[in-house]
Amino acid sequence: MSALRLLAEDGSEEILRELLFDRLAKIGIVIVGLLLLGVGMALIWRRVSRRG
């Protein structure tokens, strides 16, 4: 059995919510970071292509 299933059966909903929120926060940080990286690379690509 997974740890999340054991926590859900135990009735520790607060701990389960914290774990899920922590995971969602980490995923959100990664997505925002990738978006910023993509925007930065697009801006650099535009500047380089204008010079050439």
Alpha helices, DSSP H only, in 1-52? Answer: 3-10, 13-51
Nearest to 34 by CA among 22, 46, 26: 26
Task: Name the domain count of the chain.
Answer: 1
Task: Assign 12 a pLDDT band (cuts: 50, 70, 90).
Answer: confident
Residue-wise pLDDT for 22-31, tens only, equals 999 999 999 9
Task: Assign 18 a pLDDT band (cuts: 50, 70, 90).
Answer: confident
For residue 19, the model assigns a pLDDT of 84
Supply the pTM of this predicted model: 0.62
Residues 6+ apart with CB under 8 A from 19: 4, 7
Domain that includes residue 7, residue range: 3-51
In angstroms, how far apart are the furthest CA atoms of the chain? 64
